[in-house]
A = this chain, B = another copy of it.
Amino acid sequence: MTPPGGLQAPPGGDAALRARAARVIPAGMWGHLDARRLPAGYPQFFSRAQGGHIWDADGRRYVDLMCSWGPIVLGHHDPVVDAAVAAQSALGDCLNGPAPVMVELCEALVDRVAHAGWAMLQKNGSDATTACVTIARAATGRNTVLIARGSYHGALPWCTPVPVGTTEADRANQLRFDYNDVASLEAAVTAAGHDLAAIIVTGFRHDNVVDQEMPSLAFAQAARRLCDRAGAALIIDDVRAGFRLHRGCSWELLGVDPDLSAWSKAIANGHPLAAVLGRDSFRSAAAKVFVTGSFWCGAVPMAAAVATLGEMDRIGLPERLAELGGYLRAGMARLAQRYAVGLRQSGPMSMPLWLFEDDADFARGSAFCRAALAAGAYLHPKHNMFLNAAHTRADMDAVLAAAEAGFQAIIAA
Contact = CB atoms under 8 A, between A and B. Distances in A.
Interface of A: 12, 17, 20-21, 23-27, 29-33, 35, 43-49, 54, 57, 64, 66, 68-72, 76-77, 85, 89, 91-100, 102-103, 106-107, 109-110, 117-120, 123-127, 130, 133-138, 143, 154-158, 160-162, 164-167, 169-170, 172-173, 239, 264-265, 270-272, 278, 283-298, 301, 378
Contact of A291 (B31, B49, B133, B290): B31
A352 B258 CA distance: 46
Contacts of A160: 290-291
A69 B47 contact: no
A227 to B, nearest CB: 17
A165 B285 CA distance: 8
Nearest to A300: B271
B289 A265 contact: no
A270 to B, nearest CB: 4
Contacts of A70: 294
A43 to B, nearest CB: 7
A92 B47 contact: yes
Contacts of A96: 33, 46, 54, 64, 66, 68-69, 378
A71 B94 contact: yes
Give how many copies assemble into the complex.
2
A16 to B, nearest CB: 9
Given A288-B164, A295-B71, A100 B25 contact: no
Contacts of A118: 24-26
A271 B94 contact: yes
23 contacts: A17-B103, A24-B103, A24-B110, A25-B120, A33-B292, A33-B296, A46-B99, A47-B99, A57-B100, A71-B294, A93-B270, A93-B271, A94-B272, A123-B124, A134-B164, A134-B166, A162-B289, A164-B288, A169-B170, A270-B295, A270-B298, A272-B272, A272-B294
Nearest to A31: B292
Contacts of A166: 134, 137
Residue of A107, A127, A162, A290 most packed against chain B (CB within 10 A): A290
B290 A31 contact: yes
Contacts of A98: 29, 33, 44-46
A290 B164 contact: yes
A150 to B, nearest CB: 15
B157 A134 contact: yes
Nearest to A124: B293
Contact of A97 (B46, B106, B130, B173): B46
A175 to B, nearest CB: 14
Nearest to A166: B134
Nearest to A284: B26
A172 B169 CA distance: 6
Contacts of A32: 292
B157 A294 contact: no
Contact of A295 (B25, B66, B123, B137): B123
Contacts of A290: 31, 155, 160-162, 164
A381 B32 CA distance: 43
A149 to B, nearest CB: 17
Contacts of A103: 17, 20-21, 24-25, 45
A291 B107 contact: no
A12 B107 CA distance: 14
- Nearest 4 A/B pairs, CB to CB: A31-B292, A138-B165, A162-B290, A169-B172
Contacts of A30: 120, 286-287, 291-292
B12 A100 contact: yes
